[in-house]
Amino acid sequence: MKIPSPPINPENKAFFDAARERRLMLGRCKSCRELHYYPRAVCPFCSGPTELVAAKGRGKIYSYSVMRRVPEPYAIGYVTLDEGVTVLTNLVDCDPDTIRIDAPVRLVFKAAEGGEMIPMFTPA
Ligand SMILES: [Zn+2]
């Protein structure tokens, strides 16, 4: 599967720099302390300043969908991380027909066409 390169900008550069080192970063508000994903410069809950914190890379499938009307079927889904944040992601390295809601998953990284590392999840 070809993965298009994400547009890198000043707001997400630190996120993709960490991904290159195989770390998935979440946003955390310095004011209200809420975590969020994708990380933003401004807290989506209270508009406070934010920082990046590393996720452990474990979670469970909240929901998913399999794209079948393409040459190579693939799955996308929402994964709720152990930290409580829900992430829209690809579910990879598995038969899409074996994916189940609530199944445990772990973090993996896949290279995009430009070499950026993209966080995805696979059954644990
Ligand atoms: Zn906040």
pLDDT digits (tens, 9 = 90+) for 32-69: 999 999 999 999 999 999 999 999 999 999 999 999 99
**Span from the CA of 85 to the centroid of ligand 1 (angstroms):** 14
**Span from the CA of 40 to the centroid of ligand 1 (angstroms):** 11
pLDDT value, residue 2: 87
**Span from the CA of 109 to the centroid of ligand 1 (angstroms):** 28
Percent helix, strand, coil in the chain, to 5, is 10, 45, 50
Query: Would you call 96 helix, strand, or coil by DSSP?
Result: helix
Q: What average pLDDT score do residues 75-83 get?
A: 98
Q: Residues with beta carbon < 5 A to ion ligand 1?
A: 29, 31-32, 43, 45-46, 48
Q: What average pLDDT score do residues 68-90 get?
A: 96
HSE-up (13 A, CA, CB side) for residue 124: 13
**Span from the CA of 26 to the centroid of ligand 1 (angstroms):** 13
**Look-up of token digits 């809601």:** 101
Amino acid at site 21: E
pLDDT of 1 above 90: no
Amino acid at site 48: G
**Look-up of token digits 């310095």:** 30
Helix (H) or strand (E) holding 67: strand 58-67
**Span from the CA of 43 to the centroid of ligand 1 (angstroms):** 5
**Span from the CA of 42 to the centroid of ligand 1 (angstroms):** 8
Q: What average pLDDT score do residues 61-78 get?
A: 96
CA 100 to chain centre: 18
Query: Would you call 86 helix, strand, or coil by DSSP?
Result: strand
Mean pLDDT of the chain: 97
Comparing CA positions, the residue from 14, 9, 17 lying closest to residue 115 is: 17
